Amino acid sequence: MVNSVESLKILMDTFGDGWKDQLSQYFRGSREFGPEEKRCLINFFDAYREDFIGNRLFNLAEVEKLVESEILNNQIENYVDDMLSFYYATEPLRELEERDPVKVKAAIDFIFEQVILRYNSDFEDSYERYEFSGHQEFGDAARALDSLCTYVVAGNFYKTTIVDIIYSHTRLSRDACRHLGNRIDEKFEALQQKLLIGKLYDLLS
């Protein structure tokens, strides 16, 4: 995968001299972009996200120099920051995994059973058992995994793709991601039914 600097240069070549205006229009949602243009934009944001996660500050600084606009740089940073919401929310799980790879799987199992598969309104009270700092932190991590589960079930993805999506958004180890992917795969039909019932409930509410 190319880094954010290389990806931005591809974007600049694709859009030509007006690339900054095109990028601003994308953030404003003021025009439709073609498939190649969208792919180019998505590749840049993904590359920027990877450089951020990898702490490759030199690349990010070079992007800032190429953009030469404080407003546009802030828009890029804010956009990618939104892309990282699941990554931020699952940081306590990554920290737990570094300390205890077995306990993080137990935490994933608990979240799967008490939040994803069925909902226990008191689940946040168990935050200390899994070494979270408080209710909010535990709730944010659980809701992030629940949202990812909803996305992969709605997309009807294969298990290998589910694991890739979980890894992309959380950066838990591949082993931990496979563990959650296996749980989702085992209960896929039940999760589909839950999703359909939820949509029906929303329609009738």
pLDDT tens profile 3-57: 999 999 999 999 999 999 999 999 999 888 999 999 999 999 999 999 999 999 9
Residues 74 and 142 in one domain: no
Residues 36 and 104 in one domain: no
Residues 25 and 70 in one domain: yes
The structure tokens 């979240």 sit at 111
Instruction: Write down the pLDDT at residue 84.
Output: 97
Residues 93 and 163 in one domain: yes
Q: Are 195 and 157 in contact (CB under 8 A)?
A: no
Domain limit, last residue, from 61, 83, 105: 83
Domain limit, last residue, from 39, 55, 83: 83
**Residues of the chain predicted below pLDDT 50:** none
Residues 55 and 104 in one domain: no
Residues 133 and 40 in one domain: no
Domain extent, residue 171, equals 87-204
Instruction: Write down the pLDDT at residue 204.
Output: 72
Residues 174 and 199 in one domain: yes
Nearest to 107 by CA among 184, 181, 176: 176
Query: Per the structure, how many domains does the chain have?
Result: 2
Residues 79 and 91 in one domain: no
Residues 126 and 172 in one domain: yes
Instruction: Write down the pLDDT at residue 201.
Output: 67
Whole-model pTM above 0.75?
yes
Q: Could you tell me the maximum CA-CA distance found in the chain, to the nearest angstrom?
A: 56
157: left (phi over 0), alpha (psi -120 to 50) or beta: beta
Residues 70 and 101 in one domain: no
CA distance 193 to 151: 14
Residues 102 and 167 in one domain: yes
* Integer angstrom CA distances of residue 39 from 24, 34, 42, 132, 162: 16, 9, 5, 38, 21
Instruction: Write down the pLDDT at residue 205.
Output: 66
**CA torsion through residues 150, 151, 154, 155, sign:** negative
Residues 110 and 183 in one domain: yes
Nearest to 98 by CA among 173, 15, 13: 173
Tokens linked to 128 = 């200390």
Distance of CA 132 to the CA centre of its chain: 20
Buried-state track 142-158, b at ≥16 Cβ within 10 A, e below 16: bebbbebbeebbeeebe
Domain limit, last residue, from 58, 83, 108: 83
